[in-house]
């Protein structure tokens, strides 16, 4: 599976890691990753350590996660982006919506 999830020790943070290309083919898996058993989750981390590429439909999926996680009140951090991924997030000015580390 290209999308892996785990819960932090305190149980309040879900970490979603995407392997390889983050594009439309990841749609269902990514959605499952944030929707399933998400009760009690207050913070979200999208770990891009192993993400090689990000396309615009992936940006759309991040917005869906943001809506799911509470819209403007959502607490979402995007971590460990490589340069290509970082560039796409920057062009789209997603740092205005997400904490990008």
Partner 1 sequence: MTDSANPRQLRLLIADDSNTDRLILQAILTRQGHEVQAAVDGEAAVNLYESWQPDMVLLDVMMPRLDGVEAARRIKELAGERLVPVIFLTSLSDSGALAQCLESGGDDFLPKPYNPVIIRAKLGAFDRMRRMHETLTRQRDLIRERNEQLLSEQVTARRVFDNIAHTGCLDVADIRYHASPLSVFNGDILFACPRPAGGMHLLVGDFTGHGLPAAIGALPVAEIFYGMTSKGFSGPDVLRELNQKLVRILPTGIFCCACFVEVDFRDRRVRAWNGGLPDGFILRVDGSRDTLPSTGLPLGVLAPERFAASMSEYVVRPGDQLLLMTDGVLEAGNAGGDWFGEQRLARVLDECPADTSPADFLVEQVQAFSGRSEDTDDLTILALKISADDPVASRPPKASHSALTGPASWSCRYQLDGETLAGFNPLPLLLHVCMAVAGLRQHSGPVYTILSELYNNALEHGILQLSSLWKDGAEGFNRYYAERQARLKQVGSDQYIRFDLEHRMRASGGRLIIRCQDSGKGFKVDRNPGPVLSVGSERAFAGRGIPLIQQLSSDLTYNKEGNCAEVVYDWKSVDTGFEERAGFSD
**Contact residues: partner 1, CB under 8 A:** 24, 56-57, 59-61, 63-64, 67, 90-94, 96-97
Per the listing, tokens 């509470």 go with 70
Least distance CB 56 / partner 1 (angstroms):
4
Given a contact cutoff of 8 angstroms between Cβ atoms, the answer to whether 34 and 62 are in contact is no
Residue closer to partner 1, measured from CB, 45 or 88:
88
Least distance CB 9 / partner 1 (angstroms):
31
Least distance CB 11 / partner 1 (angstroms):
27
CA 71/CA 10 separation, integer angstroms: 23
CA 41/CA 67 separation, integer angstroms: 14
**∠ CA 48-53-58 to the nearest 5 degrees?**
80
Residue closer to partner 1, measured from CB, 14 or 66:
66
**The total number of residues written for the chain in this structure:** 101
Residue closer to partner 1, measured from CB, 13 or 92:
92
């Amino acid at each position: 599976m290209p999308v892996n999830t785990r819960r932090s020790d305190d149980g309040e943070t879900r970490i979603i890691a995407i392997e390889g290309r983050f594009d439309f083919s990841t749609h269902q898996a990514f959605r499952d990753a944030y929707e399933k058993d998400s009760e009690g989750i207050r913070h979200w981390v999208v770990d891009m350590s192993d993400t090689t590429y990000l396309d615009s439909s992936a940006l759309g999926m991040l917005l869906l996660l943001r809506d799911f996680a509470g819209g403007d009140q959502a607490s979402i951090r995007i971590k460990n982006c490589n340069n290509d991924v970082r560039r796409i997030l920057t062009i789209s000015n997603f740092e205005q919506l997400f904490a990008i580390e």
